[in-house]
Chains A and B, each alone.
Chain A
């Protein structure tokens, strides 16, 4: 095989998605420089990065269903990038909280994790993302083989923890409008997988059944 062309239309599309995924960050930088972060900039930036981490998590979880529904397998080639962006915004979200709310004091941060369920849920989601980000390279995929698939199913748990984090955060103010939308989205993305798994199991059993009757 000769040298691959550097910029196929598909690679251009991937580059476009890569750059577009930086826009939420650029927006925050721009707002920060133009006095646009409102009266409480820390709150604004914390909420924004947290929301975008969740958005990218949902997008990551959408790639497999998108492939099955459209039959276009190249959806899967966005999955790693979107997953890493979710991690990227989660790191920013965590760092802002650790830095501006806890003054980089590890003991104080840990106390907060232990004392408050909503913090514990968010922290769990963040910590579980770390091994997934670390094993996202093709080399790690090869080395881990089928363990890789099992490991990356952690994302389902992470999604549930992230929703709990957001839900409990809003619970004190009875303000569930936005978080309910994300909860339904995650429920749908996980539910469709469960449905497919059950259907596959039923199909397998049906394939076995005629032999028994013969």
Chain B
């Protein structure tokens, strides 16, 4: 594909690339290209134009980071932006797309505080200039047993963390989502103890895969996808990737995350994608890829991969841990 070739380029400095990973990745790309799946994988990217006018918040320029491409077919723009869990705008999958228009994404500030040497309230436009924006194609696996493949736009969260300079005591990072009943009709229902709080261990937050995300499919994040900024942690179940973030706090103790508080035996703090550890009420061994199977109305389920397919990159973070206990 010409377009693909034109946009090739070193999106991040060579000094930050692990040579072996690059090598592996290149082989994957070559294999994918050889198999001719690239065209198919990118087809929805071009097909999305019809929807772009309705839900979009404008274009967002970025460069594809070729370390993070997948041979998987992209989930259509329509499904990525029309089938969401964002309970602040309702518990139905199509509620957020219908209701999130009330969210005001400018002005928007994010308070970075807690155990850091340089606490600061950032304007979102300042964060957009933190580092060159990259496009990365990640799998997203929801704890409910479905998955998507999404071209996100963002910068490594580590860029922000490094600027904040966590102190020696900082072990965890807590993310808080906006909770404004005037903008978010779902807050009137006490499904969760608002505001929505998520968290990561500091080393997870610093991991190169963890993306501070501002866009998808070449444009500004649609509101139902967590505008104006969210995190994306691709090896964990989707609910770990907090949306519409207003605060990032560094702590010594494990943050009390929303779903863990609501049902501690069902949602652990780690919530790494793990086909071997079932949710108490359903199996996590397989998943249904949204839009899978082309014209087949009812595609078969596919096998879920450990760490959602990112085991090679992230498994060392959990060396020696019992992942059944720390689910």
Contact = CB atoms under 8 A, between A and B. Distances in A.
Interface of A: 32, 37-43, 45, 100-101, 103, 112, 115-118, 168-169, 171-175, 177
A188 B221 CA distance: 46
Contact of B288 (A37, A42, A171): A42
B192 A172 contact: no
Interface stretch (B19-27, B132-140, B279-287): B279-287
A62 B108 CA distance: 53
Contacts of A37: 297
A37 B279 CA distance: 26
Interface string B265-285: 010000000000011111100
B281 A40 contact: no
B93 A172 contact: no
B287 to A, nearest CB: 11
A175 B191 contact: yes
Nearest to A96: B298
A116 B282 CA distance: 7
Closest 7 CB pairs of A and B: A39-B83, A39-B79, A175-B91, A174-B191, A39-B290, A172-B266, A42-B298
Contacts of B301: 100-101
Interface string B67-83: 00000000000110011
A117 B262 CA distance: 19
B141 to A, nearest CB: 14
A37 to B, nearest CB: 7
Given A37-B297, A42-B288, A172 B263 contact: yes
A103 to B, nearest CB: 7
Contact of A174 (B263, B280, B281): B263
Interface in B223-250: none
B39 interface: no
B109 interface: no
Nearest to B262: A174
Chain B interface size band reads 20 to 34
B99 interface: no
Which of B79, B93, B281, B297 has most chain A Cβ within 10 Å?
A: B281
A117 B282 CA distance: 10
B156 interface: no
Contacts of A103: 300
Contacts of A38: 82-83, 93-94
Given A172-B280, A174-B262, A174-B263, 7 more contacts: A39-B291, A43-B146, A101-B301, A115-B278, A171-B281, A172-B281, A175-B191
B189 A172 contact: no
A175 B91 CA distance: 7
Contact of A39 (B93, B192, B280): B93
A177 B279 CA distance: 22
A173 B91 contact: yes
A203 B310 CA distance: 71
Contacts of A171: 263, 281
21 contacts: A37-B297, A38-B82, A38-B94, A39-B79, A39-B291, A40-B93, A40-B146, A40-B288, A41-B297, A43-B146, A100-B298, A100-B300, A101-B301, A103-B300, A115-B278, A116-B280, A116-B281, A174-B191, A174-B262, A175-B191, A177-B189
B156 to A, nearest CB: 29
Contact of B281 (A32, A43, A100, A118): A118
A38 B297 CA distance: 10
B31 to A, nearest CB: 29
A116 B279 CA distance: 10
